[in-house]
Amino acid sequence: MLAVFEKSISNPPEELNLPSLGLENSMNREEILQTFRSSSTEVTVYNLTNGNFMALSHDDTSYSHPRSIVVLDDVFCIFIGTLVNTSDLRRHYGLPRQATEAIVVVEAYKVLRDRAPYPIDQVIKDLQGNFAFVLFDANSGTLFISRDRNGSVELHWGLAGDGSLVFSNHSNIIKEACSKSYGPFPPGCIFRNGSGLLSFDHPLNKVRAITHKDDDFENICGVSFQVDLYTRIPSIPRSGSASNWADQESPPPHDHHDRDDHDGQIELDFIS
């Protein structure tokens, strides 16, 4: 899995840019996609506006951590893993029996976006299982990422050479793309552009960056994030029909450049 979003949309944490070595070796978005394509024999790529994209490799499919990508009403979602309570969530959201985990996540997001009177941490906490997902709403420009509390599914994030935010479950891809400016996506957390990192188990506590230095203790060579149980957030915003977080806090969507004859928003490439 690979997803790359320009800085103006993703609004990445500044701490990801702290590592001071090897930045000249990081890639731009075009180079990252080419590297990912060359590493897989079968890739599905969704080209979004302004050079942003989401891609999924179909090589080496894992039974324990299956991968899928769905698009519903211009909401794109890559989901890796399994949920043990999928049947309960289907009933809760009024979905048919054939709805996959990715479809359940998209529906949960749409409920939060449009009418939910409860905070996002509670909704993600209801996802029981081993998972990681990247979701992008092309209409509102909202980016929404989460990983299960045990970190069972590998997920990394980092900054490309042009400042774009990169997500991948392939450690080699993220290293090539971001050089030193990357780290593991923190388990049990949610990232949303416009509001940053939030722990869904400890939503009232801050998530802080932890820097790692080289052997000489002179240069920052890596960064990770963890929940600070001793520092509380004064308050967290609540979501409701009168306060649409997708509209209020996310960056405005960019003008679409026609890439597809149907809606002018996406182009789907399938490579075998």
Torsion, Cα 19 23 25 26, to 10 degrees, reads 80
**pLDDT for the residue 257:** 39
Mean residue pLDDT of the chain comes to 83
Which superfamily does 2-203 belong to?
Answer: Aminohydrolase, N-terminal nucleophile (Ntn) domain (3.60.20.10)
The DSSP symbol for 52 reads: -
Q: Give me the residue label for tokens 């790359």.
A: 4
Spatial CB neighbours of 117, under 8 Å, sequence gap ≥ 6: 238, 239, 240, 241
Predicted pLDDT of residue 11: 93
Task: Determine the pLDDT at residue 19.
Answer: 65
Q: Is 22 left (phi over 0), alpha (psi -120 to 50) or beta?
A: left
Report helix, strand or coil for 193.
Answer: coil
How many other C-beta atoms lie within 10 A of the C-beta of residue 232? 11
Q: Which residue has the tokens 């490799």?
A: 57
Contact 250, 140 (CB under 8 A): yes
Other CB atoms closer than 10 Å to residue 109's CB: what's the count? 23
What's the predicted TM-score (pTM) here? 0.82
Distances (CA, A) of 51 to 31, 134, 206, 257: 11, 17, 32, 10
Domain boundaries along the sequence of the chain: 2-203
* Residue 270 contacts residue 44 (beta carbons within 8 Å): yes
Burial of 244 (0-12, 13-18, 19+ CB in 10 A): middle
Ordered per-residue pLDDT tens for the chain, 272 residues: 999 999 999 999 888 877 655 556 688 899 999 999 998 888 999 999 999 999 999 887 776 789 999 999 999 999 999 999 999 999 999 999 999 999 999 999 998 888 756 678 888 999 999 999 999 999 999 999 999 999 999 999 999 988 899 999 998 999 899 887 888 999 999 999 988 999 999 999 999 988 877 666 566 667 889 999 888 877 655 544 434 444 444 444 444 433 333 343 343 443 43
Angstrom distance (rounded) from CA 138 to CA 151: 27
Measured distance CA(22)–CA(221) in Å, rounded: 9
**The predicted structure's pLDDT at residue 68:** 93
User: Distance between CA atoms of 90 and 99, rounded to whole angstroms?
Assistant: 7
Torsion angles phi and psi, residue 184, rounded to 5 = -70, 140
**Tens digit of pLDDT for each residue in 189-210?**
999 998 899 999 999 999 998 8
CA 199 to chain centre: 14
DSSP readout, 37-97?
A: HHT-SSEEEEE-GGG-EEEEE-SS--SSS-EEEEEETTEEEEEEEEETTHHHHHHHHT--T
207, β-bridge pairs: 227
pLDDT for position 237: 53
